[in-house]
Amino acid sequence: MKAAKENSQTWLMAFLSYFSAAALTIHLSSNGTDIAPIWPANAILVALLLADERPRWSNVLTAGFIGGVAANLLMRGTLLGPIAYGLANTVEIWFAAFCLRRESNRDGILQSTPAVARFITFAGLCAPALSGVFGGATAFYVYGEPFLNSFMTWLASDGLGLVVFTPFFHAAFRGDFITCFRRKSWLKRSEGFILLAFVGAISYWVFYISLYPTIFLLFLPLMLVTFRVGRLGAKAAVILIAIIGGIATMHGHGPIARVFPGAAMQAQAFQSFLAVMLLICLPVAAEITARERWPAP
């Protein structure tokens, strides 16, 4: 009885979280027929499967598939496309979670520089490339979008979604943020919140207020949070930048939207910016984590 209740709770949480993330992403960053420039929904289920010591594969994957079909059906208005997209996303979630569970341990998925390299390989490249073949074919046959462009957009969108959002949700599901908050003094807690607010303020200024291409300024608060707060702070800071910058760019605000013409080029430029930011931030966060676990003699 208890197991059945836990299974139903897991299914409902996976469904609601995936449906909400998918519908919101399509609404904010897609025209209804193309592929969104960043797809965070898959990261939620991958993180859920990684955080659970005994993952309920069938419950999570089924809930994600149904939630994805429902979100796509609601936002795109067709049935064949949502089913095909849902199958592609299910394959991606399973493959990414299966590979990462074999590589990770109880210390997390970004505990060292080699772990970061494996994480980027499996979550950022292999899993989205596998599902991108089906996603690109669906965009071509159902919606009339070019296959190669759709495949590349899918690869970048899903890859960035997994790399950016999986560490954050993984830490959240494991309770790492709550544990870290309880262990810190009020002074350290205040410093962390102030630095994250600083990241959000700089991000908003860069993408909504500044008339000049000052996107490079984002690296200063990001590195500051990484060194002062640690890997959990870095994960939260990356999420803030990705959300604020992504919404702004897709609505024609910010330096990327002013420099690059057309929504497709703007999406690709923002994806490139996020990729560079992650390649700089994640190894630094992993190195700090490794030094905390094994301090120098």
Which alpha helices (DSSP H) does the chain contain, by range? 2-29, 41-51, 57-76, 80-103, 113-119, 127-143, 147-174, 176-183, 186-204, 219-229, 231-250, 254-259, 263-293
Average pLDDT over residues 86-105: 86
Q: What is the mean pLDDT of the chain?
A: 84
CA distances from 95 to 49, 158, 297 (A): 11, 13, 39
pLDDT tier, 102 (very low <50, low <70, confident <90, very high otherwise): confident
Q: Could you tell me if 227 and 141 lie in one domain?
A: no
Whether 215 and 287 map to the same domain: the answer is: yes
Is the pLDDT at 5 greater than 70? The verdict is: no
Strand partners, 105: 108
| pTM for the structure as a whole | 0.83
**Number of domains observed in the structure of the chain:** 2
Task: Select from 125, 143, 174 the last residue of a domain.
Answer: 174
pLDDT of residue 88: 92
Tell me: do 164 and 138 sit in the same domain.
yes
Of 116, 149, 174, the last residue of a domain is 174
Phi and psi at residue 79, in whole multiples of 5°?
-105, -40
Compute the residue count for the chain. 297
Query: What does the alpha-carbon distance between residue 294 and residue 297 come to, in Å, rounded to a whole number?
Result: 9
- Claim to verify: residue 47 and residue 120 sit in the same structural domain: yes
Using pLDDT thresholds of 50, 70 and 90, give the confidence band for residue 291: low
User: Of the candidates 15, 70, 88, which has an alpha carbon nearest to the alpha carbon of residue 48?
Assistant: 15
**Of 126, 150, 174, which residue sits at a domain end?**
174
Q: Tell whether 59 and 140 lie within a shared domain.
A: yes
Cα–Cα dist 145/286, whole Å: 39
What whole-number percentage of the chain has pLDDT above 90? 25
pLDDT in tens, 173-232: 888 888 878 888 889 889 989 999 999 999 999 999 988 888 889 999 999 998 888 888
The band of 106, judged by pLDDT with boundaries at 50, 70 and 90, is very low
- Please write the tens of the pLDDT for every residue from 110-142: 677 777 888 888 998 999 999 999 988 988 888
Task: Please check whether residue 35 is in contact with residue 155, taking contact to mean a CB–CB distance below 8 angstroms.
Answer: no
Q: Which amino acid is at 210?
A: S
More confident of the two residues 264 and 169: 169
Is 101 exposed, middle or buried (CB count within 10 Å of its CB: 0-12, 13-18, 19+)?
Answer: middle
- Claim to verify: residue 26 and residue 111 sit in the same structural domain: yes
For residues 163 and 193, state if they share a domain.
no
- The domain in which residue 220 lies consists of 177-293
Residues 91 and 28 reside in one and the same domain:
yes
CATH of residue 53's domain is: 1.10.1760
Q: Are residues 72 and 38 in the same domain?
A: yes
Residue with tokens 């949502």: 82
Query: pLDDT per residue over 13-58, tens digit each?
Result: 889 999 998 888 877 765 555 566 778 899 999 999 998 877 788 8
Which residues have CB under 8 Å from 185's CB, separation 6+? Answer: none
Residue 73 has what pLDDT? 81
Task: Say if residue 164 is in the same domain as residue 193.
Answer: no
Distance CA 60, CA 8 (A): 10
Do 49 and 116 have their domain in common?
yes
Tokens of 192: 């962390």
295 — alpha (psi -120 to 50), left (phi > 0) or beta? beta
Same domain, residue pair 58 and 181: no
* Dihedral pair phi/psi, residue 295, rounded to 5°: -65, 150
